[in-house]
Amino acid sequence: MGQQFARVRNRMVVAAVLVTAGLSVANAARADDRVDVGLLLGSTRATDEGGGLQFGRGLTYQATFAWRFWTKDHLGVSIEVPFLASPAFEVTTPGNSPPKEYASLYLTPGVRLTVLAGGPISAFGTIGAGYARYSESKLRRDGSPNPNQQDTNSGALEFGGGVDVKTWPWLGFRGEIRDVYTGSRRFSIPTPGPSVQNVVISGGLVLRF
């Protein structure tokens, strides 16, 4: 699981380098803000599984690609594709038998509505749906193997909002909060939760083209 998410982080870094390399071209062409790439870092709080499994916050990496296809009177509508990855939610429940941690991925394409689009400060709301994956660790809390390790694939519904601050024509900053609802997770010990709520608070850079 650690290697899987290390590859994810490496791909996100490569994507950031490639995008940054094209900034000089985008600046020369005077970007019209129709396309933006958000590279964010945040924290996720996920639903506990009753008293059986409780979790700490998970560090979350996010890359969001968006294309604004309609603008009128400072309102903009975009298609966006957010990808979020949390490599480790530590299990805080006492005992040695619970899993050590689990990881999650969310991919929820959707629609973004922006107010004051193109201005120095804009606000947006977003809604989308797609895919979630949960991967339980192969180790228990005491370091012993977890022979009943489980992975879960599920549907996901996401909504949220945030604020963009433009500092240069091609660069800005973003703060946002997203709420991702998914189906239940499977773990090596019985859990009662029929669904999961993931509240993600993030901030970072926005590159515009």
Which residue is listed with tokens 């294309």?
Answer: 67
Encode pLDDT of 166-192 as tens digits: 999 899 999 999 999 999 999 999 888
For 105-150, write each residue's pLDDT tens digit: 999 999 999 999 989 999 999 999 999 999 999 999 999 999 999 9
Is the pLDDT score of 30 beyond 60? no
Is 60 exceeded by the pLDDT of residue 84? yes
Bridge partners (DSSP) of residue 134 are 104, 152
Residue 13 has pLDDT above 70, yes or no: no
What's the DSSP call for residue 2? H
Q: List phi, psi (to 5°) of 206.
A: -125, 125
What pLDDT is stored for residue 50 in this prediction? 87
What percentage of the chain exceeds 70 in pLDDT?
A: 85
Domains belonging to the chain, first-starting first, are: 2-208 (2.40.160.20)
Q: Do 127 and 110 contact (CB within 8 A), yes or no?
A: yes
Among 23-27, 146-150, 155-159, the least confident range: 23-27
Q: Per-residue pLDDT for 17 more than 50?
A: no
Asked if residue 19 has pLDDT above 50, the reply is no
E strand residue ranges, the chain:
35-46, 58-72, 75-90, 101-107, 110-115, 121-136, 151-168, 171-183, 195-208
**How many percent of the chain have pLDDT more than 90?**
77
Highest mean pLDDT among 7-11, 132-136, 191-195: 132-136
Its pTM stands at 0.84
pLDDT of the residue at 3? 55
Choose between 2 and 200: higher pLDDT.
200
